Structure 1
Amino acid sequence: MSSPSIRYFAACWVCFPLQPGDRFRYYWDILSILFILHDALVLPLYFFGLQKHYGVQSLAWCARTFWMADIAMNMLTGYYEMGILVNDLRRIFCRYMRTWLLLDALCVAEDWLRFSNIGEADPAMEFLSLLRVIRLVKLRKMSGQLHDQLQSQAASIQFNLLGTITGLVIINHIIACCWYGISQLGDGGDTWLKLQGWEDAAPTFHYVTSYYWAFSQLGVGNTEIHCVSLLEYVFASFVAMASLLIFSTLVSTMTSLMTTLNEIQESEISQFRALRRFLSANHIPQELSTRIVQFVQHSYYQKSQESDQDGDLAILDMLSTPLKAELRFARFAEKLDALPFLRKLMACNDLQITRLTHQLAGQLDLLLVAPGDVVFFADNDAKTTFVNLHGTLKYYQSSRSEEVTDGLWISEMCLWTSWEFMGTLVAEEVSRLVSLNEEIFKKTVCESVVAQQMASSYAIQYVSELTSQKVTSDLWAYIESGNPSAPAITVS
């Protein structure tokens, strides 16, 4: 290969590492979790001869190939150090070499050693293959990324509880298989299997009895299986010490999680009980009481499922003001893009305009309405424009009505001219809206001369089209001419 080609590939190697939060890396980590669980569950079963099955051999080939590629992936993925993204591949490699490189390389080498049939006649090689099970330590970090997708504290606690129970099951599974594997070592001396007279039993029976022995070491059961050989006594002593740590940790963790979960549920129950007592004591009509309880239940559910959706996180106070504004903008960028004028602003490659769009995002208000709530009445002065995030809204005008589409800005006209609502907007179910006040909008836009000029030009076109179309609905959507991808202007 020529020297320029070498320099080209070297430049690509240095300049293009994967980002830790990259979507491809996210799915790769999910595959890593699946293959780690495969190693933890399937490899110990090799003591029972499971590796002879064709399906297991196919899975072993997939895992073998994946873990080889995973070494390269880890060398090409950046990391965060003190909150700063490290993209230098030499630093990435040095960090990987100090942490997981040696173990990953040994695991891959052992896997290929087994595949080449070297040493397979020795049962002790089965214990060497369990070296790969150490990768279970990686699960804590990888599962944390899945944990971050949960949006309620209760779901987070349930996830932790499930993880604790799953970890206990896997650890007992490994101990059980090792306990059976020890009985296969040696030169035909006495073992617990021979003492019980179960040598000719089915592999399934061997596994179940071994698992029961492993579980009884936690002190929650009794077993007639006893150690016979020195190796069995050594292993049983090690398991007894490990079980002491596992059991104490398990009890404290599960107790803490269950206590927290019960506190959350009890808090919810007591609040709704107090609400019902209040409604009953004040003789509130049954129909209104039902509406109130249903709305509060929905609001409570939304708060638990969309935790901190309004950005009221204490840790966000550590962000700089521009970064907070950019975060707010990122949350509502899709809704802002639905307004043609704001879409034009967002397309401008100007720092002042960018700051202005971030300010506008910060001026958006979130509004939660209950079934039957009126958002606005016909003939009232329009001072605010709305967009529906989720839920069902009905727009009533004269003798007709129509359902409002999500993402459609309602009464945008008030931003550009004096306007009165032409109809009435009513919530059919619990709905969440975003609103923008026209006074705040105008004040923010006027902070930039360029934006003010763009707004003036746009307002002339908008009002001209509004007049020519003789619009009589607050749901009218203005589509700029000259946009070939835009649908035709519609008048409701």
Structure 2
Amino acid sequence: MPSDEEKAPTEFEMRSCWLIAEADGRCVNTASVSAPNDSVSAPNLPGMWPHRPSGQLLLHAGMLQRCVLHPNSLRRYVWALLGMLYLVWDVFVIPLQICELDGDSASYLSVTVAVMLYWCLDIVVQSLTGFLTSDGCVEMRPAMTARRYLRSWFGTDVLILVSDLVVFLGLDMRLLESAYATRAGASSLKMIRLARLVRLLRLMRLQQLRDLSDNLVNSYFSQSVLLCLRVCQWFFSIMVLNHFVACAWFGIAKYSSSETTWIRSALAGEVDEGSKWHSYVLALHWSLTQFGPSTQNIGPTNTQERMFACAVVFVGLGVFSVIISGITSAVNQLRLVNMETVVEESNMRDFMTSRGLTATLYGSIASFFKNAYSKVDGRILEGDVKVFSQLPISLCMQMHEELYMPKLCTNAAFGMFYQQHHELLCRICHTAMSEHPVLAGHDVFLPTTEATHAYYSTSESLVYDHSAPAHPKGLNDFSMERRRRSISRRCEVLATDSWLAEMALWCKWMHRGHLQAKATTHVFGLDCREVEAIVIRADRGTIFGMRIFAILLVAEIERMELMGEVLNDLPVELDVSPGRLPAGPGG
């Protein structure tokens, strides 16, 4: 006579995509697959890429391939950032060296050698750095990257490097000064030191590094942060320009043959001519006053200084206007980023004022707007970017893979089958996964409703409340105590990187609790019906292991409920490993 457990009908109807039909060559049930077997390595899905997709890596099989850097890799960004720091060093130090404001030049020799070595190695790095082609692919073959570099920046980089080497040997190592010291006067030596201006050719590399810095900033910062960085960039430009003008103003007085200079003038106040630092600060103050409405007690005292001052004033008129307009434009764009929230708040205020609603109600709605609704607009969703709808499908799939695959693989089942079914998971990321904003206090799902999505939480802003379930079937004394412990924990805050209602992926599932957001957040949803449609279209033989996993999982859930376990939407910790999965139909 059958037992009570055998009489009890199951409440978990498996999704049709995981069922094994007669057409597969054999029928499989949970009893026939419970014995452990070796895991099967399924082939990739055929026909995934009908042509070369956008974003594909073009590689070579040689030994040199491992040395090629991806154009957007972290190592490439770190190397470019080091080059930017060296260029900033050159921008500030080279003018000081030309005007002999650097003090003991020997102290800068080690840094100069390091900079020279960096730019020597940079030629090799540039020739082994990949690039994006016109069709969106990433060219990583060493021969192609070297050919592209030879046709673009190679000649310029070699010219800059050779000029640096000449200046280093002639001035930093003092070979030219020692050779001409006995035959040239002081004025000739000063002209020789002006050869350090050649090092300013390094600034041509700013254009080369600009695209890399833009990609780096755009990858890690929001639009508001980008606009703030743009304002800071304008202020940095002002500082660099005034540094150059101050050094030039000091150099004119130092190299002038006139007996009266602004340094020796009584208008400069009490100045120690031997104090280079004091003289530089006075020159910087004079430079700043030429670009803004401020005063100072320093003025030109000879013809050379007056001509230079006129040129600075003339240039300052244009530069000051450009800088002010640039800063104003960046600030206006920063305001436009939050303009939608400002307009919504204004419309809400006008509506409630015109309808004569109470101040209490207005305060409640305004509080919700400031604490919940207005904070959602700070995160841009994929649907808000119109250009994404025009992307090639292959490039869009690559974007979705980078967005969703790390989250999808945190699920135990999909992470287990990542290697065998990578292309199937890429299709799931492209079609079935999406991101949704959830306002504070809003419900994600309610109990006893059909589960159509599995949810992935990225923060601790979601609270799950599971009510007492119905009396389970086959309840015994052992499971009663475990049931009491489960019911006692009614309300739980979801941990970061956790899944909810994942059983809906494998069978028809009714929500067993209530999920609500205690703060404005975003959740990632996995559409179970889309997953079912994708799996149905796939080759059923290649996903044999996943189907057996689904059967084992659903059978285990049924057994747990028959034993009196209290089931809910929280993640279920089960020991269903690949070792328990049988080989495919052909294995």
User: What TM-score comes out, normalization by structure 1 length?
Assistant: 0.82
Measured at CA, do residues 316 and 455 of structure 1 come closer, stay the same or move farther in structure 2, by a change above 3 Å?
same
**1:6 corresponds to which residue?**
none
Quote the residue 1:467 is aligned against.
Answer: 558
Look up the equivalent residue of 1:220 and give its one-letter code: P
- Count matched residues: 466
Indicate whether 1:332 and 2:411 are aligned: no
Q: Which of 1 and 2 has greater Rg?
A: 2
**1:135-214 maps to which residues of 2 (within 5 A)?**
135-139=202-206, 141=210, 142-149=212-219, 151-185=221-255, 189-196=259-266, 198=271, 200=273, 202-214=275-287
Q: Deviation digits for residues 246-277 of structure 1, max 9, x if unmatched?
A: 23322332232233334445554343233345
Q: How many angstroms does 1:151 deviate by?
A: 4.0
User: 1:205, CA displacement in angstroms?
Assistant: 2.5
1:68 alignment partner, one of 120, 133, 136: 120
> Which residue, out of 182, 187, 195, partners 1:128?
195
After superposition, what is the alpha-carbon deviation per residue over 1:321-357, rounded to whole angstroms, capped at 9, x for unaligned? 23212321221001211234433553226xxx71563
Which structure is higher in RCO with an 8 Å CA cutoff and minimum separation 6?
Answer: 2
Q: Structure 2: which amino acid aligns with 1:31?
A: L
Match of 1:101 among 115, 134, 158: 158
Say if 2:372 is the partner of 1:295: yes
Instruction: Please give the alpha-carbon distance, in whole angstroms, between the structure 2 residues aligned to 1:254 and 1:286.
Output: 36
Distance 1:249 1:322 in 2: 42
Gaps of at least 5 residues in structure 2 are: 1-61, 182-188, 469-487, 580-587
Give the CA deviation at 1:208. 2.0
1:363-398 per-residue CA deviation (whole Å, 9 max, x = no partner) reads 223232233323223333333221112242222234
What do residues 409-467 of structure 1 show as CA deviations (whole Å, max 9, x unaligned)?
Answer: 21111222232222222222222112223322212210112366444322211112223
- Choose 85-94 or 322-331, whichever is displaced more: 85-94
Q: Pick from 488, 512, 516 the counterpart of residue 422 of structure 1.
A: 512
Q: Deviations over 1:271-305 (max 9, x none)?
A: 323334545644437445523431112212x33xx
Distance 1:245 1:91, change over 3 A: same
Give the match for residue 413 of structure 1.
Answer: 503
- Structure 2 Cα separation of the partners of residues 219 and 190 of structure 1: 27
* More helix, by proportion: 1
CA contact (8 A) 1:382 1:421 kept: yes
Q: Is the 8 A contact 2:435 2:525 kept in 1?
A: yes
The correspondence of residues 38-437 of structure 1 with structure 2, limited to 5 A, is 38-46=89-97, 47-52=99-104, 56-80=108-132, 82=134, 85=138, 87-119=144-176, 122-139=189-206, 141=210, 142-149=212-219, 151-185=221-255, 189-196=259-266, 198=271, 200=273, 202-218=275-291, 220-222=293-295, 225-227=298-300, 231-232=304-305, 235-236=308-309, 238-265=311-338, 268-278=341-351, 281=355, 282-283=357-358, 284=361, 286-287=363-364, 289-300=366-377, 302-303=378-379, 307=380, 309-310=381-382, 312-348=384-420, 354=423, 357-397=426-466, 398=468, 399-400=488-489, 401-437=491-527
**Match of 1:431, as an amino acid?**
T
SS at match of 1:346: coil
Q: Which runs of 5+ in 1 are unaligned?
A: 1-10, 485-492
1:213-253 alpha-carbon deviations (Å, 9 max, x no partner): 32333363455544455654564455445434423322332
- Identify the range of structure 1 (19-28 vs 264-273) with the bigger mean alpha-carbon deviation: 264-273
Distance 1:59 1:233, change over 3 A: same
**1:469 maps to amino acid:** M
Alpha-carbon contact 2:416-2:578 (below 8 Å) kept: no
RMSD (Å) for aligned C-alpha atoms: 3.3
Q: Is the 8 A contact 1:180 1:207 kept in 2?
A: yes
Instruction: Give the structure 1 partner of residue 572 of structure 2.
Output: 477
Residue type matched to 1:131 in 2?
V
Equivalent-residue separation in structure 2 for 1:360 and 1:78 (angstroms): 27
| Residue identity matched to 1:258 | V
The change in CA–CA distance for 1:463 and 1:212 in structure 2 (over 3 A counts) is same
**Measured at CA, do residues 163 and 277 of structure 1 come closer, stay the same or move farther in structure 2, by a change above 3 Å?**
same
CA distance in 2, matches of 1:289, 1:218: 45
Q: Quote the offset at 1:26 in angstroms.
A: 0.2
Offset at residue 163 of structure 1 (A)? 0.4
Quote the Cα distance in structure 1 between the aligned partners of 2:444 and 2:292: 62
After superposition, the Cα gap between the structure-2 partners of 1:340 and 1:230, relative to the gap in structure 1 and judged at 3 Å, is: same
Q: Which amino acid aligns with 2:288?
A: F
